[in-house]
Amino acid sequence: MDQEIAVRRPSKEAIRAAVSLRFMAEETRNAARRALEEAQRLSPQPGPQVWDPNMQMAHALGRALCPDAELPPSLEPPGRRAAMVEAADGPIVSDFGSSWSDVAAALGRGVFLHGHGTGPFMPDVECPLRRAAVSLIVWAGCVSAAKTIAWRTAAGRNTPERRQGPLDAIARECLEDHLYAAGVEVAVLWKRGRRQKIYLNDVPADHPIRALANRGIRAASPDPSEGQRP
């Protein structure tokens, strides 16, 4: 005698979770494709510029995930932005010479980290994809600026000639993307939080990197040991 097997229908919550996961996977794949196209648009023009492809990728990926992403009220305090950057810091793609499948996997991990790992910093943003977009763009702006004002980078001593291209490119991008600018302006705070020396001599007085100091926020004002040539 055949035995009847009871089949339980999935709950509404399980169905919604499955649909949400599928939607996130599709959006991540589409965002990766759009990010590659956007990264080409953001690529610096030929000349003496220094640019980190991870910063370009993160910025492009964030805008591809959420084109209308803006700074939420929870991240208006500069210190909170700098703390979020510290929590999410790390390369999106470690090896751009690897296979496309490895790059895609790295992008997926980056989106997950920036979307879920930054939740405590953005309690007013429920959507993890929107959180990922905000975090990626703020991180890209902050770290791009931090590398530019660093005394030294992995490529060697940071000379005025090597800084000029990135300084100009960062200033231009800040005019077009205020969320990116929100990251740029906390670069000094982030570097100080890491107790790393910075070099501001070649940074124009009205550059976005100096935005906090120009608004009278003392924590972003240079101390006497800064600004000396390395």
pLDDT band, very low/low/confident/very high, at 43 (cuts 50, 70, 90): very low
Contact yes or no for 84/135 (Cβ under 8 A): yes
Structurally, the chain folds into a number of domains equal to 1
Q: Is 127 within a domain?
A: yes
Does residue 24 lie in a domain region?
yes
The predicted pLDDT at position 126 comes to 93
Task: Specify the amino acid at residue 229.
Answer: R
Report if residue 227 sits inside a domain.
Answer: no
State the Cα–Cα distance between residues 146 and 9, nearest whole angstrom.
53
Q: Whole-number mean pLDDT of the chain? A: 78
The reply to whether 168 falls in a domain is: yes
* Chain segment 66-118, per-residue pLDDT in tens: 999 999 999 999 999 999 999 999 888 777 666 778 878 888 888 888 998 89
CA separation for the pair 88, 34 (Å, rounded):
22
Residue whose C-alpha is closest to residue 212's, from 50, 71, 82, 72: 82
Has residue 30 been placed in a domain? yes
* Residue 186 belongs to a domain: yes
CA separation, residue 3 to residues 7, 8, 9, 10 (Å): 13, 16, 19, 22
Range of the domain at 213: 12-220
pLDDT digits (tens, 9 = 90+) for 125-149: 999 999 999 999 999 999 999 999 9
Q: Report the alpha-carbon distance of residue 61 to residue 56 in Å, rounded.
A: 8
CB 174 within 8 A of CB 184: yes
Q: Spell 29-56 as b/e; 16+ CB within 10 A means b.
A: eebbebbbebbeebeeeeeebbbbebbb
Q: Output 3 or 140, whichever has higher pLDDT.
A: 140
Model pLDDT for residues 156-213, shown as the tens digit of each residue: 777 788 888 889 999 999 999 999 999 999 999 999 889 888 888 888 889 999 988 7
Residue 228 domain-assigned?
A: no
For residue 228, is pLDDT > 90? no
Only one residue has tokens 């791009």, namely 144
Looking at this protein, which amino acid is placed at residue 27?
E
Asked whether residue 3 is domain-assigned, the answer is no
Please give the DSSP secondary-structure letter assigned to residue 208. Answer: G
pTM of the predicted model as reported, rounded to 2 decimal places: 0.73
Question: What is the model's pLDDT at position 227?
Answer: 40
| Token pair recorded at residue 187 | 């670069």
If DSSP codes are grouped into helix, strand and coil, which group holds residue 157?
A: strand
- More confidently predicted of 178 and 7: 178
What element of type H or E holds 136? helix 128-149
Is the pLDDT confidence value at 42 over 60?
A: no
3-state secondary structure of 185: coil
